[in-house]
Structure 1
Amino acid sequence: MTRFPYDQFAKDYLKELLQPLGEVETSRKVPAEIREIDVYFVPSSQPTIDKIELGLLGRFADKIALFEPYRNAVKISEIRSCMKKVFYLIAEIERGNKRVDIPTVEEELPKVWVLTPTASIAILDSFNAIPDEENWGKGIYFLGESAKTAIVVIHQLPRIPETLWLRLLGKGNVQKQAIAELQALPPDNPLRAKAINAVLSLRSILEITQNQNIDEEDRELVMALSPLYLQQLEEAKQEGVQEGVQRGVQQGVRTVIENLLQVRFGSSDEELSTIVEPISRLSPQEFTPLLLQLSREELLNRFGQR
Structure 2
Amino acid sequence: MTKNSSDQFSKQFLEEILAPFGTVETSYEVAGEPQWVDLYFIPTNPPAIQELGLLGRMAQTACLIEPFRNQPTPSEVRSCLRKLYQVHGNYQRKARRERQSIQDTDLPQLWILASSASETLLNGFGGSFSADWETGVYFMHPLLKVAIVAINQLPRTEETLFLRLLGKGQIQKQAVDEVIAFDAKEPKRTAILKLLSNWKISLEMTNQAAADEELMMVLSQAYLEWEQQTEQRGRQEGALGEAQALILRQLTRRIGQVSSTMRSQVESLSLPQLESLGEALLDFSSSTDLDQWLKSH
Same fold (TM over 0.5): yes
Q: CA RMSD in A?
A: 2.1
Preserved contact between residue 34 and residue 81 of structure 1 (Cα < 8 Å): no
Q: Counterpart in 2 of 1:151?
A: 148
- Does residue 183 in structure 1 map to residue 177 in structure 2? no
1:2-13 correspondence runs (5 A): 4-13=4-13
1:222 to 213, 216, 226: 216
Task: Return the TM-score normalized by structure 2.
Answer: 0.75
Letter in 2 for 1:28: Y
Letter in 2 for 1:54: L
Q: Provide the C-alpha distance between the structure 2 equivalents of 1:172 and 1:33, rounded to a whole number of angstroms.
A: 35
Instruction: Report how far residue 32 of structure 1 moved.
Output: 5.4
Number of positions where the alignment pairs a residue of Structure 1 with one of Structure 2: 236
SS of equivalent residue, structure 1 residue 128: coil
Q: Counterpart in 2 of 1:110?
A: 108
Letter in 1 for 2:190: A
1:87-166 correspondence runs (5 A): 87-132=85-130, 134-166=131-163
Q: Counterpart in 2 of 1:250?
A: none
Task: Return the TM-score normalized by structure 1.
Answer: 0.72
2:69 to 71, 75, 80: 71
Any gaps of 5 or more consecutive residues in structure 1?
244-306
- CA deviation digits over 1:95-126, x for unaligned, max 9? 11112221112112101100001111111111
Instruction: Report how far residue 34 of structure 1 moved.
Output: 5.7
Q: Provide the C-alpha distance between the structure 2 equivalents of 1:32 and 1:103, rounded to a whole number of angstroms.
A: 24
SS of equivalent residue, structure 2 residue 72: coil
2:167 to 166, 170, 191: 170
Q: Provide the C-alpha distance between the structure 2 equivalents of 1:213 and 1:109, rounded to a whole number of angstroms.
A: 39
Q: Provide the C-alpha distance between the structure 1 equivalents of 2:220 and 2:208, rounded to a whole number of angstroms.
A: 20
Q: Provide the C-alpha distance between the structure 2 equivalents of 1:215 and 1:242, rounded to a whole number of angstroms.
A: 36
Q: Provide the C-alpha distance between the structure 2 equivalents of 1:173 and 1:65, rounded to a whole number of angstroms.
A: 28
- Does residue 50 in structure 1 map to residue 66 in structure 2? no
Between 1 and 2, higher relative CO (CA 8 Å, sep ≥ 6) is seen in 1
Q: Provide the C-alpha distance between the structure 1 equivalents of 2:172 and 2:230, rounded to a whole number of angstroms.
A: 25
SS of equivalent residue, structure 1 residue 136: coil
Larger radius of gyration: 2
Preserved contact between residue 7 and residue 67 of structure 2 (Cα < 8 Å): yes
Q: Counterpart in 1 of 2:79?
A: 81
Instruction: Report how far residue 146 of structure 1 moved.
Output: 1.2
Preserved contact between residue 199 and residue 219 of structure 2 (Cα < 8 Å): no
Instruction: Report how far residue 184 of structure 1 moved.
Output: 0.7
Letter in 2 for 1:208: M
Percent of aligned pairs sharing the same letter: 40
1:185–1:213 CA distance, 2 compared to 1 (3 A): closer
Any gaps of 5 or more consecutive residues in structure 2?
238-297
Letter in 2 for 1:161: E
1:92–1:241 CA distance, 2 compared to 1 (3 A): farther
